[in-house]
Amino acid sequence: MPITITPRTATLDDAARIGRTLAGAFLDDPMMCWFFADAATREAALARYFRTLFTRQYVHHGVCELTGSAVAFWVPAEAQAKAVPDADTIEELKGILGDGVARFGAAVETAAGHAPGEPHRSLSLIGADPAARGQGHGAALLRSGLAQADAAGQATYLESSKPDNLPFYQHFGFTVREEFALPGGGPVLWGMWREPRRPADA
């Protein structure tokens, strides 16, 4: 049976699959490697980490879509304040992060200081199963989310810690807005911005 690349809205029943997909997608991501320094336990910890973010935060206050092999979490402009993890979620994440909790806290604080002040829709994360990369899953999710942003007249912001991904986002109209390093020897992040497009501009 072919794996569909048509995006659909994720539900809580998808939590385990989302955790597995994103764990594979971010296994070599510089920021996730910084948070989860132990390579032997990283994939299992990442699956718990992303599953927790989905079930406790983004499924309630964001727009979560998936294909057969990829996942994207978006936060519309009007939901930005609600998308911040509550105290219980933070405590659960601390247990998952272990020794990486201080690095995580520093990253969250630094990124918050660089977040755009203008109203915008955030692409919080997007990732595809490594076995399905190059098959159009990520592009399908990006097109879907950007179409929703354009329909709402919202600009879009994302942060990437992988320089190899910048051309992919630039292909969809993003430009690098800012480059900054996380403290304590953390990786570099690239903040990227895309203005909304009218149908004729897309």
Q: Are 160 and 169 in contact (CB under 8 A)?
A: yes
* CA–CA separation, 105 and 115 (whole Å): 15
How does pLDDT run across 46-77, given as a tens digit for each residue?
999 999 999 999 999 999 999 999 999 999 98
Q: Is residue 187's pLDDT more than 80?
A: yes
Selected residue with higher pLDDT from 86 and 162:
162
* 34 belongs to a structural domain: yes
How would you classify residue 77: left for phi > 0, otherwise alpha for psi between -120 and 50, otherwise beta?
alpha
* 2 belongs to a structural domain: no
Q: Is residue 83's pLDDT more than 80?
A: no
Looking up residue 148, the CATH number of its domain turns out to be: 3.40.630.30
Q: Is residue 136's pLDDT more than 80?
A: yes
* 3 belongs to a structural domain: no
* 56 belongs to a structural domain: yes
Q: Are 158 and 169 in contact (CB under 8 A)?
A: yes
* Residue ranges with strand state E in the chain: 8-9, 63-66, 70-75, 121-128, 156-160, 175-181, 188-194
| Token code pair at residue 30 | 């510089």
Q: What is the DSSP string of 88-120?
A: HHHHHHHHHHGGGHHHHHHHHHHHHHHS-SS--
Sheet holding 63-66, edge to edge: 8-9, 63-66, 70-75, 121-128, 156-160, 188-194, 175-181
Across 75-94, average pLDDT? 85
Q: Please give the angle made by the CA atoms of 185, 123 and 57, to the nearest 5 degrees.
A: 90
Check residue 2 and give its pLDDT.
53
Check residue 30 and give its pLDDT.
96
* CA–CA separation, 144 and 155 (whole Å): 14
* 200 belongs to a structural domain: no
Q: Are 102 and 91 in contact (CB under 8 A)?
A: no
Count structural domains, the chain.
1
Give the CA-trace dihedral at 159, 197, 173, 49, to 10 degrees: 30
Cβ-Cβ contacts under 8 Å for 186 (sequence gap 6 or more): 31, 34, 103, 106, 107, 110
Instruction: Please tell me the pTM assigned to this model.
Output: 0.92
| 128 strand-pairing partners | 70
Domain that holds residue 187: 8-194
* 73 belongs to a structural domain: yes
Check residue 1 and give its pLDDT.
41
Give the CA-trace dihedral at 157, 74, 44, 14, to 10 degrees: -160
The DSSP code for 187 is: P
* 199 belongs to a structural domain: no
* 120 belongs to a structural domain: yes
